[in-house]
Amino acid sequence: MKIYQAKDYNDMSRKAANIISAQIIMKPDCVLGLATGSTPVGTYKQLVDWYQKGDLDFSKVKTANLDEYKGLSKDNSQSYYYFMQEHLFKHVNIKEKNTHIPDGTETDAEKAAEDYEAIISGLGGVDLQLLGIGHNGHIGFNEPSDIYPKDTHVVDLQESTIEANKRFFDSIDEVPRQAYTMGIGTIMRARKILLLVSGAEKADILYESICGPVTPSVPASILQLHPDVIIVADEAALSKMGIS
Ligand code: F6R
């Protein structure tokens, strides 16, 4: 595991975008595992900027997103499909057919999960998986639990996650109660993982994830067992690690 300290959110975003750019330059047809939420927004903005300057080419890049709310269609402005269009896909030359997100409108959860695992296997697996972390240590929507869910599956979102995500909706009642997410196994099968963490409010959970025991009650702690993890975190997020 390598930890890179960034000064602040913008510096974290630039460093992360540099790592993703390097991946695209070294393997133009790479498979990127992508995340939504507020953490990667600055990273996507930087990638769009470099694309517009002619420094990046997404024409062969393939993507597979971590998760999607169950019940939200692509045109719902709170869906992760919509998020990805707004923050990255519509601004770069990625091909729509090369982008993949779990199908939130599939009501058969088993089918949705199996289809998505088949898509990821068909792509040859993920080269670089981008992750954020929830305040409870979730990665994707893998919430604290007694076990590590292996593959893509449907989850009941925890109250704390619904509470954290209500900022994106008009009211808390509109936040979906379920989501499809890559499993911990799906995430751990990525060849490289890039975890981004920003802000003092993530300092405790980052410390617990990296320095505490590996336990499904802190899902991100599993990353300690992955052979190729890069963490880019800002000073505030690293403040409990005693390394600054
Ligand atoms: C998003 C995802 C989540 C977020 C996490 C952090 O696709 O899978 O695990 O990465 O909830 O969210 P933010 O970045 O909004 O703090």
pLDDT for the residue numbered 156: 93
> Could you tell me if residue 204 is inside a domain?
no
- What is the whole-number distance in angstroms between the Cα of residue 219 and the centre of ligand 1? 13
pLDDT for the residue numbered 131: 98
Residue 49 a catalytic site member: no
Nearest-atom number in ligand 1 for the CA of 165 is: 15
- Amino acid occupying residue 49: D
Sign of the Cα pseudo-torsion (200, 202, 205, 211, in order): negative
> Could you tell me if residue 202 is inside a domain?
no
- What is the whole-number distance in angstroms between the Cα of residue 134 and the centre of ligand 1? 6
67: containing domain? 2-188+211-233
Does 15 or 169 have the greater pLDDT score?
A: 15
Q: What percentage of residues in the chain have a pLDDT greater than 90?
A: 92
> Could you tell me if residue 240 is inside a domain?
no
Nearest-atom number in ligand 1 for the CA of 65 is: 7
Structural element, H or E, at residue 172: none
Structural domains of the chain, count: 1
Identify the residue whose C-alpha is closest to ligand 1 atom 3.
Answer: 140
Q: Which of 91, 136, 204, 235 is catalytic?
A: 136
- Where residue 113 sits, what CATH number does that domain have? 3.40.50.1360
- Above 90 in pLDDT, residue 160? no
> Could you tell me if residue 205 is inside a domain?
no
Residue 142 a catalytic site member: no
Report phi then psi at 69, rounded to 5: -65, 135
Structural element, H or E, at residue 195: strand 192-197
> Could you tell me if residue 102 is inside a domain?
yes
- What is the whole-number distance in angstroms between the Cα of residue 67 and the centre of ligand 1? 10
What token pair was written down for 178? 């379920």
Residue 117 a catalytic site member: no
> Could you tell me if residue 20 is inside a domain?
yes
Sign of the Cα pseudo-torsion (53, 39, 232, 96, in order): negative
Pairing state between β 192-197 and 2-6: unpaired
pLDDT for the residue numbered 50: 98
Q: Is 96 helix (H, G, I), strand (E, B) or coil?
A: helix
Q: Chain-centre distance of CA 7, in angstroms? A: 21
In angstroms, rounded to a whole number, what is the distance separating the alpha carbons of residues 213 and 10?
31
Cβ-contact 214, 224 below 8 angstroms: yes
- What is the whole-number distance in angstroms between the Cα of residue 5 and the centre of ligand 1? 20
Q: Which of 138, 142, 153, 165 is catalytic?
A: 138
Tell me the pLDDT tens digit for each residue of 90-107: 999 999 999 999 999 999
Average pLDDT over residues 132-138: 96
> Could you tell me if residue 239 is inside a domain?
no
pLDDT for the residue numbered 167: 87
- Above 80 in pLDDT, residue 187? yes
**Per-residue confidence band for 242, with pLDDT thresholds at 50, 70 and 90:** confident
Cβ-contact 233, 204 below 8 angstroms: no
pLDDT for the residue numbered 168: 84
**Per-residue confidence band for 244, with pLDDT thresholds at 50, 70 and 90:** low
Nearest-atom number in ligand 1 for the CA of 37 is: 15
Average pLDDT over residues 22-41: 98
Pocket-forming residues, ligand 1, beta carbon under 6 Å: 35-39, 66-67, 132-134, 138-141
> Could you tell me if residue 53 is inside a domain?
yes
